[in-house]
Amino acid sequence: MSGENLYQDNIKRGEYLINNYDELNDMHIDVLREIGNIGAGNAASALADILNEKVGISLPKVRITEFDTAVNALGGAETMTVGVLVNFCGDANGMIMFLLNMNDASAIMSILMQEDDEAEGQLSELKLSAIKEIGNILASSYINSISLLTGLEIRISVPYMAIDMAGALMSVPIIEFGSIGDKVMFIEECFSVEENNLTSNIIMFAEIETLKIIMERLGIKI
């Protein structure tokens, strides 16, 4: 069935209200994937500017999963991970997390600062605050592009950073967005800096109400 037909079909079905992430249909997921694509595309070009290197992005994955799958999605619950979290609110509410493993965090810093005099797995205060700022820039460009696309007014918080088990970091958005129902939805993308073989993830969580508003702005009944 073509997209147009699906759209008409949805309209005909009328006032059918979605309250849970697992009620999103294929077309909604396609739209979310496109939003992720635009957001992460913008963030990737910001990252490329910062690093002055080519940055590739994966096809966005829209995941609607149980809590445990979400925790394990990013390479094991207990893996030491650097996470930068930015909240957004206003017309749309959600969170963006920028995640990378310790080695990649050190590697990014040595590209930026042209020095690598530190013991493996150790990052100085200065480097940590630089990573926090990178997370902040990426999240802002992600949100900016959604805001431009939809005309919604979205404010973002200051960035928060933590270095800990991936699962413990992921528990923060899961608690925030998992209070209703037993699943969470997130859009995940992987950045790769090919020359240095670095990877990182950017993930976006949003309230179900926010998804409805974004879809409505794009002319889709949800």
Partner 1 sequence: MSKLLIVGISDYKLSRHPNVIVTYALGSCVGICLYDNQTKIGGLSHIMLPNSNMFPKTDNINRKKFADTAIQDLVKDLVAMGANRFRLVAKIAGGAQMFQMQQGSQIGNIGHRNISSVKKTLQALRIPIVAEDVGSNFGRTVYFSLDTGTMRVQSLNRNVCEF
Summarize as ranges the residues that interact with partner 1 (CB under 8 A).
66-68, 71, 77-78, 80, 83, 85, 87, 157, 160-162, 164-172, 174-176, 178-180, 182
Query: Which is nearer to partner 1, 57 or 96 (by Cβ)?
Result: 96
Shortest Cβ distance from residue 106 to partner 1 (Å)? 16
CA distance 39 to 202: 10
Distance set, CA 203 to CA 37, 70, 96, 143 (Å)? 11, 11, 6, 12
- Under a CB-based contact definition with an 8 Å cutoff, are residues 88 and 154 in contact? yes
- Under a CB-based contact definition with an 8 Å cutoff, are residues 60 and 188 in contact? yes
Shortest Cβ distance from residue 100 to partner 1 (Å)? 16
Shortest Cβ distance from residue 201 to partner 1 (Å)? 16
- Under a CB-based contact definition with an 8 Å cutoff, are residues 99 and 186 in contact? no
Shortest Cβ distance from residue 11 to partner 1 (Å)? 29
Of 77, 78, 60, 97, the closest CA to residue 172 belongs to 97
CA distance 156 to 94: 10
* DSSP letter (8 states) at residue 155: E
Shortest Cβ distance from residue 80 to partner 1 (Å)? 5
Query: Which is nearer to partner 1, 116 or 164 (by Cβ)?
Result: 164
Query: Which is nearer to partner 1, 104 or 193 (by Cβ)?
Result: 104
Query: Which is nearer to partner 1, 60 or 167 (by Cβ)?
Result: 167
Query: Which is nearer to partner 1, 80 or 149 (by Cβ)?
Result: 80
Q: Determine whether 19 is exposed, middle or buried from the number of CB atoms within 10 Å of its CB (0-12, 13-18, 19+).
A: exposed
Residue recorded with tokens 């009944």:
221
- Under a CB-based contact definition with an 8 Å cutoff, are residues 188 and 200 in contact? no
Query: Which is nearer to partner 1, 170 or 222 (by Cβ)?
Result: 170
Shortest Cβ distance from residue 174 to partner 1 (Å)? 7
Residues facing residue 185 across a β-bridge: 64
